[in-house]
Amino acid sequence: MPVTGMPPGFYAIAHRHPDRRALVDGDGSQMSYGELGALVNRVSHGLRARGLRRGHVVAGVLPNGLDAVVMLLATGQIGLYYVPVNWHLTSPEIAYILKDCDARLVVHGPAFADGVRAACADAGVDVVVEGTSPLAQDRPVDDPPDRSAGSVMWYTSGTTGFPKGVQRPLPGRAPEEIVPLYTWFLREVCDLEPGDGVHLVTSPIYHSAPCAHVSFALNLGHTLVIAPRFEPEGILELVDRHRVTNAMMVPTMFHRMLRLPREVRERYDVSSLKQVMHTGAACPPAVKRELMEWWGPVLYEYYGSTESAIAFAVKPREWLDRPGTVGRPVPTFEARILGDDGEELPPGEPGMVYVRSGTNRFEYRKDAAKTAASMRGDWYAPGDVGYLDEDGYLFLCDRRTDLIVSGGVNVYPAEVEAALLGHPGVADAAVIGVPDEEWGHRVVALVQRQAGPGEPVTAGELLEHLGPRLARFKHPRVIEFRDELPRTPTGKLSRSAVREDYLSRAGTTT
């Protein structure tokens, strides 16, 4: 039944509405807010009993599920930094993060035990536990004393180098005191409201946006439905079965669902969806428009980074009026576009995107030089090239590091990829620049064909498709076909992996 007078935040809801459904795990098991709150409190007490105090760091190498959610909430009410670690990393890569963040305790899933324990031995971490049960055992269910909000410290590689922790100051206030700012911001940006929402988790919680939306959903009193993995039809089935109202996805998920046969798509009722937030990569306008023809005007896009958080946003009907934009600066943020000389550029002229906000402060943990290098005064550069239109809407071109300069002309890979993905015979595409003696770089497209009946698409057909869509200088000089292209678990295309693979096959070096 609808909840009126919703108290601020997860912890208060757990007390006031304990029977409210909080979580549906990937195995179908369910937990109420009261049950989840009690477990979170027990784990918080367990962490305190291990000697952890405000400002200390705890790491989790955990699959999507109850333990990942509990660690986020337990650390979040006793002033700890929580570092979610990508469990796809190798043991040495995990050890680097654990050592860099000074983790005092690591919680891991059973499937990762050997690699994590080897990483902990290498990093000098003495306290390692499997799951949250050892922390919760024999601990009280009441609230821990001296509660204060913690913070998640995500590790990001940016464009180059070793990953660094993005560390924000601890608020120094009880968790409930900062929830009103959350709810105001989410209402302004995504039209999300406290109440009877159902949030579908589609991506690994160790990434910043999916993790943040788990926290947002529970602080709004929504129910979390955790997908065990992303499968296009499986996601539609979960939306239908649980009457999902909101989710966070990435564009490659849209593309894969749109490639389902129409009879499969029509099998599921998705009319409950009200907000599907997307971020993490450029979404080809054709893909976004087609999905909204299917789901209705429910796609809310935002742009930012682990460092900047949500900096720009655009609602569905705004986007339909300006296809391709990632939005205007969100409340509390400012933006400007600078040229190579540091001068601000006029509307319509591409340059480096800079943002600033008085409410979003960060530093790279133990790396003041890297922090300073990412800033121009109090302006931060996410690393993307784009331009603002006359009304302040941002249009991205590409990442600076992916820019292809061929014959002295700039080619943005994302633009070429979007045009290729508009062909029904293309399942995925990656565009890279490779060294060329005459042109500096030449444009190369690696394409994954769409499976299904009929003849597979040819390079000639793709070039014909690009003809009316892109200037000829943007056309790939080479089109090669691949069985699969490397993407991260959240769906981001790894152009660096594509480039390395292509160059190694061609016997070329950069």
3-class SS string, 390-441: CCCCEEEEEEHHHCEEECCEEECHHHHHHHHHCCCCEEEEEEEEEEECCCEE
In CATH terms, the superfamily for domain 403-506 is ANL, C-terminal domain (3.30.300.30)
Enter the tokens of residue 85: 């670690």
pTM listed for this prediction: 0.82
Q: In whole angstroms, how far apart are CA 464 and each of 178, 413, 470?
A: 54, 18, 11
Nearest partner of 341 among 351, 326, 329, 328, judged by Cα: 351
User: Rounded to whole angstroms, how far apart are CA atoms 429 and 282?
Assistant: 13
Domain locations along the chain:
34-174, 230-400, 403-506
pLDDT mean across residues, the chain: 91
Query: What is the C-alpha end-to-end distance of the chain, expressed in Å?
Result: 61
Phi and psi angles of residue 181, each rounded to the nearest 5 degrees, phi first: -65, -40
* pLDDT recorded at residue 433: 87
User: Rounded to whole angstroms, how far apart are CA atoms 237 and 444?
Assistant: 37
Angle at 228 between CA 149 and CA 95, to 5 degrees: 60
Same fold, 34-174 and 230-400: yes
Q: In whole angstroms, how far apart are CA 219 and each of 144, 161, 212, 278?
A: 19, 35, 11, 20
Alpha carbon 24 to its chain centroid, in Å, reads 21
How does pLDDT run across 272-294, given as a tens digit for each residue?
Answer: 999 999 987 778 888 899 999 99
Enter the tokens of residue 409: 């002309």
Query: Is the CATH number 3.40.50.2300 carried by domain 34-174?
Result: no
CA torsion sign for 210, 211, 213, 218 is positive
Nearest partner of 152 among 72, 52, 60, judged by Cα: 72
Is 509's pLDDT higher than 60?
no
- Fold (CATH) for 230-400: Rossmann fold (3.40.50)
- As a whole-number percent, the residues of the chain with pLDDT over 90 amount to 69
Enter the tokens of residue 203: 């991506």
Count other Cβ atoms within 10 Å, centred on residue 134.
Answer: 13
Is 35's pLDDT higher than 70?
yes
* pLDDT recorded at residue 510: 44
Nearest partner of 395 among 495, 475, 322, 469, judged by Cα: 322
Count other Cβ atoms within 10 Å, centred on residue 168.
Answer: 15
Is 247's pLDDT higher than 50?
yes
